Amino acid sequence: MLAEQFTDPVAFHGEGPVWSDSWGGLRWVDMFAGDILSLDGDTVNRRNVGPFVATLRPRQSGGAVIALERGFALEDAAGELTRLDQLWNIAGMRMNEGGCDPHGRFYCGSMAWDQRARAGSLYRLDGDGRVTVVQDDLTISNGLEWSPDGSLAYYNDTRTGRVAVFDYDEEFGLTGLRTFAEIPAEAGYPDGLTVDSEGCVWVALYAGGAVRRYTPDGTLDGVVEVGAHRVTACTFGGPRLDRLFITTSREDLVPGEDPLAGSLFVADVGVTGRAVREFAG
């Protein structure tokens, strides 16, 4: 299956697509520009929230929770932005990717700007504003999403070349990290991911030009080819959540190389996603 180009190359490093009816559709980020992008019909709108933005999720109260370079910000229903206290003051570290658990808590993983090994951590933001480190020794934290029943959380530390899975419950959080599926080096690097209504895991392959679908037992079940090499993330959207939106990047490319990189792509894959889990704060 081949994804269709949906926009022009509008992003330098497109990431983190999220569909929410409360937003009126799709949002994603142009990470190193600090811009949140949104669709209005065929028009792409931009809102700058600073020099860098990692990812975002809708809030139950309206607006969004947003991961910035060194911490979090809250957008209210009117669009007003409140930045929370920075989590660190040292240079060389930034947030990268995250998601909300079934109990409305927002997680985001950090990484080193130079991608040095085991420098990052996974942080959890609770609805009352408390922040907890739930995992250490991570390198490039990506792709956190839960199974339909909420008992599992799928996660990519990109440099490991694998899709991993945690057990999850409200009291103990994320436990039992283990391999879910191995990604061959020639196929690319596991980046963002999403989970469909059947419990299958869709994994974006950076430097692989594709999104792969894995069944709940870790078996490769399908491939969506993308017309750009650096595929970063994917999510289900549309009124029936039956379209797979895919972001791509122009990072480290020379002018004229991979001309569709930075575009948003879409594929009709014959299954539906699930409504995004929202932050309870």
**One digit per residue, pLDDT tens: the chain, 281 residues?**
999 999 999 999 999 999 999 999 999 999 999 999 999 888 999 999 999 999 999 999 999 999 999 999 999 999 999 999 999 998 999 999 999 999 999 999 999 999 999 999 999 999 999 999 999 999 999 999 999 999 999 999 999 999 999 999 999 999 999 999 999 999 999 999 999 999 999 999 999 999 999 999 999 999 999 999 999 999 999 999 999 999 999 999 999 999 999 999 999 999 999 999 999 99
Q: Which structural domains are found in the chain, ordered by start?
A: 4-268 (2.120.10.30)
CA dist., res. 58 & res. 133, Å (int): 22
Residues 95 and 110: beta-carbon distance below 8 Å: yes
Question: Is residue 187 helix, strand or coil?
Answer: helix
- DSSP conformation class of 76: -
Residues 144 and 154: beta-carbon distance below 8 Å: yes
CA dist., res. 194 & res. 233, Å (int): 8
CA dist., res. 79 & res. 97, Å (int): 22
Beta-bridge partner residues of 259: none
Distances 107 to 2, 40, 135, 158 between C-alpha atoms, Å: 32, 28, 11, 17
15 marked as part of a ligand binding site: yes
Residues with active-site annotation:
191
76 marked as part of a ligand binding site: no
Please give the structure tokens belonging to residue 247.
């972001």
Residues 117 and 139: beta-carbon distance below 8 Å: yes
94 marked as part of a ligand binding site: yes
89 marked as part of a ligand binding site: no
